Structure 1
């Protein structure tokens, strides 16, 4: 789908503005928008500010290969740059690039995830109070990703069935996970605080929370309803970078991340700890407790069980479940 043509007599849009329009037309996330614009800008500067129409597969190959050889970027970073450039050529310039066989690919390292022991998790989480502590406990207790936790809405919790619906997860998929019984009381208290904040926003005439474009068009008033309000709203209002509307967003991702890192240091955990480490620990501890790998796969939202299989290596079970002769 080509981007909309400018009206007659209007000056042509700058290239990056055309890219931005094409991204928003396809409802990509704001993070993806910023990432793609950054890579496209970097690609243009790399080739001396020449217009991408003057460049082709050879120049793309040189740029991507330079990222791997001189820049020594990770394979995921190189793939992100490639996705941004392909988006530019396909959806903005409407040009097809031949398959890039000569690109020097960054090596994808085979690393095992960092997993905390159950005792380490208890020590770390005991040191984080308030909303950040509840968020981290919910991540470990359900296996959800950080952004999945941040984007939870009140309507996504069902206490009667003790389940949480995770909407629009990785790959645009929904899934259901458990609502930990031990967190019910804390979540109910959070709901009371959120209801008060929602009532305050409504009384002050604050714009409703952000909704995906299709939903915002279909249900124009849904953003002001309590059901769509964030479970973990920010304590202050902020400007929506796309619409320019001042509204309440969810808690910034740095809030639980900083709290977790500080708690890990205080607890004496010597390995690097991130919020995704809690997801890895969730999966590993379920397997340790005897749950089958298909159940864990479903709870994590993995499309392929081979992705989940990495946790069996962390456990040192399965084909690698060998006991050292020193232990006999």
Structure 2
């Protein structure tokens, strides 16, 4: 039986998975490409080019008033479509109206504020926030940790699912090592129960499952923070236990911030900002902080020096 030709969006998904992009990126790119096509009355992208891309990006900036980062994400998705799927090299000079970049300074908590929030949390949610603040991990990096990535002997954590897919090493805070060990004991019991029920597999990155067919059942590959329920993988269709969903922690954090009486806009990423700022306040050099955060360019890390130099203790008010 002759196979039907793959639809455009199926080709996009295949190309994304071939590049080992995350499922989150896949959903984002597919969403932007759909919007681009629908904006131009469902015309096929191969029949469009620079003018249509410029019109779409201008619409996003002028009509929808999106942030510069959002407009760039849309552009990246469309360029991926042309380069990786349609195999068209666009000599693209985008003259679209560009969304205005904001001069963003991150929200940073004081140490007292950090511990006030932590005090309002319990269980896995408290442990996660301690890790975010104590290691500088991004939320997705923390949730994606595997058992093998936590090195108690060396007091370090190996971060693998990073932006750009480049591994790095950060510290394992001594103050939570024992708590993390106890947590992993309960996770191991859960994994053993899953195995007894005929489950116990986990998603493996970069097609490792084809190379090591039984590795997905191994303890070392399990997530440190597994989901409370078993679910179907949206890509493979296999029923397995994924890691905890980010919304679970976000909801708990929102409530904790309210209960702690913190009058700042706090997200999970705020603890990464606070980690970096407090290290600089403690006298660590910016290159060390850059390495721990996994920033490719030190200019990205420099934002925290701006936080240190603005207001507060840096400039004495004339009123004083």
Normalising by the smaller structure, the TM-score range is over 0.9
Q: Check if 1:35 corresponds to 2:28.
A: yes
Greater shift, 98-107 or 272-281, is seen at 98-107
> 1:57-72 alignment to 2 at 5 Å?
57-72=50-65
Equivalent in 287, 298, 301 of residue 308 of structure 1: 301
| Number of residue pairs the alignment of both structures matches | 319
Distance 1:83 1:219 in 2: 33
1:153 aligns with 2:146: yes
* Contact 1:120–1:269, Cα closer than 8 Å, also in 2: yes
Q: Which aligned pairs between 1:182-221 and structure 2 lie closer than 5 A?
A: 182-221=175-214
On the 8 A contact 2:223/2:243 being kept in 1, the answer is: yes
Extract unaligned runs of 5+ from structure 1.
1-7
Q: For the residues of structure 2 that align with 1:70 and 1:215, how far apart are their CA atoms?
A: 44
CA deviations on 1:132-185 (whole Å, 9 max, x unpaired) are: 110111100111000000011111111121111111311111111111111012
- TM-score, structure 1 as length reference: 0.93
SS of equivalent to 2:207: helix
8 Å Cα contact 2:192/2:200 also seen in 1: no
Question: For the residues of structure 2 that align with 1:13 and 1:207, how far apart are their CA atoms?
Answer: 33
Label 1:9 to 1:223 Cα distance change in 2 as closer, same or farther (>3 A).
Answer: closer
Partner of 2:226: 233
Structure 2 gaps of 5+ residues are none
Task: Give the Å deviation of 1:303.
Answer: 1.2
Structure 1 segment 70-109 matched on structure 2, within 5 A: 70-109=63-102
Instruction: Measure, in 1, the Cα distance between the counterparts of 2:162 and 2:211.
Output: 21
Q: Is the 8 A contact 1:238 1:247 kept in 2?
A: yes
Deviation at 1:255, TM superposition (A): 1.2
User: Hey, what does 2:286 align to over in structure 1?
Assistant: 293
TM-score for the superposition, normalised by structure 2: 0.96
Partner of residue 134, structure 2 = 141
Match of 1:4 in 2: none
Preserved CA contact (<8 Å) 2:144 2:161: no
* Aligned residue among 233, 247, 250 for 2:240: 247
Partner of 1:132: 125
Aligned to 1:117: 110
- Aligned-partner Cα distance in 2 for 1:154–1:233: 11
Alignment partner of 1:279 out of 272, 277, 287: 272
* CA RMSD, Structure 1 to Structure 2 (Å): 1.6
Aligned pairs for 1:38-57 within 5 A: 38-57=31-50
Contact 1:39-1:84 within 8 A present in 2 as well: yes
CA distance in 2, matches of 1:23, 1:305: 29
Counterpart residue number, 1:223:
216
Deviation readout 1:200-235 (Å, 9 max, x if unpaired): 111111051000133222222111111111111111
1:269 equivalent to 2:272? Answer no
Cα distance between partner residues in 2 of 1:326 and 1:285: 27
After TM superposition, the runs of 4+ consecutive aligned structure 1 residues lying more than 6 A away are: none
Deviation of residue 100 (structure 1)? 2.4
Tell me the distance in 2 between the aligned counterparts of 1:226 and 1:10: 39
Q: CA deviation at 1:325?
A: 4.2
What does the per-residue CA deviation read over 1:183-206, in whole Å, with 9 as the maximum and x for residues that have no partner? 012101101101101111111110
Deviation of 1:51 after TM superposition, in Å, equals 1.1
